[in-house]
Amino acid sequence: MGPKTSTDRSTFPFTPGSLAAQGYRMPAEWEPHDATWLSWPRRDGISFPGAYDEVLPALAAMVEALRESESVRINVESEKQEQEIRRILSRTDHVQFYRIPTNEPWCRDHGPIFVIREEKPRLAVVDWDYNAWGGKYPPFDLDEVVPTKVASYFNLPVFYPKLVMEGGSIDVNGAGTLLTTTSCLLNPNRNPDKSKEEIEQALRDYLGVRNILWLGDGIEGDDTDGHIDDITRFIDRTTVVTAVEENKNDPNHEPLAANLERLQGMRVEDGTPLKVVTLPMPPRVEKEGQRLPASYANFYIANKIVLLPVFNSPKDEQAVDVLRACFPTRRIVPLNCRELVWGLGAFHCLTQQQPAV
């Protein structure tokens, strides 16, 4: 991974560790959004081999469902791609297009992490280094600079922690507590020269958190080395939903049970015990002999709806019921992701929220 270019600079001076000191924090996903960002896949990309056309219905349904909730901002590589997308979508009155080319569509991981504060400028961008999940899928040069390019459209200040991290590897409650996994953030394919303490300090400095909760391993088929957004998610300041696998013969049973046990002893930033709600795992989903990381935990919380990946499974309705109880003021929108998860991700992996300020 090469260095940022000379144009990738913050619009005001800062020193390491000063972002949190300046009052910035990463808001929780359920806090009000100005928009949802997406990076549209390319037909010649590697995320959906031989199945690009098959994933378009799920992508179009996602954009249409967000119309009742908020604006959608889509990164595209060209005018030609924009026109192709317009033909796919039934309506685009809530959609804006930005000429920001990407290698792949996983905006949660390569997109900007927005942070907010009370004083002006109220909104800023954290641009973590990005290496496509430990260098697994080169090239990733276009994805690596997406956050700074997004910030340039809005004249936002940008901070550079000089740490490799993806957005799907963390989840926050907006009040000072962050969830992550040791299997991902401490993997030597990300930051081999950084200790756990140094990584924790960067999270505190740049996201405004002070309480970091570590889970263990992720689910089978997850090529991210265990992103938190496939296993455990905050739904309010003191409550998480966490995936569990009841089948003891399934490889996911043991790691998810271990994570559940950890969660039951954890507390949020003010010492309040964490409340834990369990969410089922869907039955095994495979394609071409490969287990795919199908998980109901990869939902996306928008202003008025929750996008829930479902898999044409008898457990789909159970997952809907769990999330309906978790989000009584939002409509749960279940959308079939059996084709989409061939790209090894679902709605949370595809989206990145821009907070309202």
349 is catalytic: yes
How many domains does the chain divide into? 1
Residue 139 is assigned to a structural domain of this protein: yes
Cα separation, 124 vs 292, whole angstroms = 35
Q: Provide the pLDDT for residue 280.
A: 98
Question: pTM for the full model?
Answer: 0.95
Peptide bond before 121: cis, by omega within 30 degrees of 0? yes
CATH code of 193's domain: 3.75.10.10
- Which two tokens mark 87? 């033909």
Residue 172 is assigned to a structural domain of this protein: yes
Residue 317 is assigned to a structural domain of this protein: yes
In degrees and rounded to multiples of 5, residue 218 shows phi and psi of: -95, -160
Q: Provide the pLDDT for residue 255.
A: 98
* Torsion over CA: 295, 37, 224, 200 (sign): negative
Burial of 276 (0-12, 13-18, 19+ CB in 10 A): middle
Active-site hit among 107, 184, 337, 349: 349
Residue 263 is assigned to a structural domain of this protein: yes
* DSSP-assigned letter for residue 181: E
Residue 5 is assigned to a structural domain of this protein: no
Q: Provide the pLDDT for residue 6.
A: 31
Domain holding 92, by residue range, is 18-355
Averaged pLDDT, groups of 10, the chain, 357 residues long: 37 54 96 98 95 97 97 98 96 97 98 97 97 97 98 95 97 98 98 97 96 98 98 98 98 98 98 98 96 98 98 97 98 97 97 98
Residue 340 is assigned to a structural domain of this protein: yes
Q: Provide the pLDDT for residue 13.
A: 36
Residue 4 is assigned to a structural domain of this protein: no
Residue 13 is assigned to a structural domain of this protein: no
User: How, if at all, do strands 239-244 and 232-236 pair?
Assistant: antiparallel
Q: Provide the pLDDT for residue 16.
A: 46
The H or E element containing residue 199 is: helix 196-207
